[in-house]
């Protein structure tokens, strides 16, 4: 997983399709007054989910549902008896990554989420929704990576993963100060990548040793008691 907060839909699509790493980033916020929808007390930018072949056949018998993409996942818009709109989060069962190898040696990755949508009086709808841009999105004006995430912002998993951001930023600051003029001592993207990977490996080795020392200390303390 890659943690970052400033990337927009285009950046998120590029990094995920080329590296196969899911980006942990919060979805855009927007107040209800400015066109957003309120989820768990927070306003989120939202856009209706376009029709697709994955859903059209399944919803044809019941007339369809109004689905919205927001907060990194999907919601169904339901009208109450007094005419107000409520947004019910769809059940996401799992997320998968597909890998495509091209003849030129290139590799592209795709992420999908399996959703279930309850339908009154009929069997539940179930399908795999793409989380990265599709060929049909430009025709409908749907910027998929602006509203959908590999890890939705509504779940506990996002809170746990994004909570590591402070440690990541601290490590980034130390890394920048380690080199004169904040410049990597390497020429070219491949050499620079090696430097960054070795720095991360050194940090992980240090953290593992600290953990082992603490575990050993606790073991001796329990033995002595």
- Sorted by where each begins, the domain ranges of the chain are 2-152, 168-224
Q: Which pTM was predicted?
A: 0.74
Ranges 19-33, 59-73, 145-159: which has the least confidence: 59-73
Structure tokens at 27: 């979805």
pLDDT tens-digit readout, 40-57: 888 999 999 998 776 665
* pLDDT value of position 28: 84
Query: Counting Cβ atoms within 10 Å, is residue 136 exposed (0-12), middle (13-18) or buried (19+)?
Result: middle
∠ CA(179), CA(180), CA(182), 5° rounding? 65
DSSP letter assigned to residue 67:
E
**pLDDT greater than 70 at residue 58:** no
Are 22 and 150 in contact by the 8 Å Cβ rule? The answer is yes
Contacts of 178-184 with CB under 8 Å at 24 or more apart are: none
Q: Helix, strand, coil: what percent of the chain each, to 5?
A: 40, 30, 30
CA 120 to chain CA centroid, Å, is: 30
pLDDT digits (tens, 9 = 90+) for 102-111: 888 889 999 9
pLDDT tens digits for range 171-202: 777 777 777 667 777 888 888 788 888 888 88
Residue among 21, 23, 13, 5 nearest 144 (CA): 13
pLDDT at position 188, please?
82
């Amino acid at each position: 997983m890659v943690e970052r907060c400033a990337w927009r839909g285009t950046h998120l699509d590029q990094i995920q399709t080329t590296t196969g790493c899911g980006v942990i980033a919060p979805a855009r916020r927007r107040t209800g007054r400015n066109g957003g929808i309120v989820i768990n007390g927070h306003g989120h930018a939202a856009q209706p989910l376009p029709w697709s072949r994955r859903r059209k056949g399944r919803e044809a018998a019941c007339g369809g549902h109004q689905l919205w993409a927001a907060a990194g996942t999907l919601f169904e818009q339901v009208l109450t008896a007094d005419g107000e709109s409520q947004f019910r989060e769809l059940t996401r069962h799992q997320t998968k990554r597909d890998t495509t190898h091209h003849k030129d040696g290139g590799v592209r990755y795709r992420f999908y989420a399996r959703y279930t949508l309850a339908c009154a009086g009929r069997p539940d709808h179930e399908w795999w929704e793409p989380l990265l841009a599709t060929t049909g999105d430009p025709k409908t004006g749907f910027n998929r990576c602006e509203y959908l995430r590999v890890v939705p912002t509504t779940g506990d998993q996002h809170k746990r993963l994004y909570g590591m951001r402070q440690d990541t930023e601290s490590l980034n600051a130390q890394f920048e100060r380690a080199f004169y003029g904040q410049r990597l001592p390497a020429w070219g993207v491949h050499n620079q990548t090696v430097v960054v990977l070795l720095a991360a490996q050194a940090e992980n080795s240090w953290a593992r040793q600290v953990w082992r020392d603490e575990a050993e200390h606790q073991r001796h303390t329990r033995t002595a008691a």
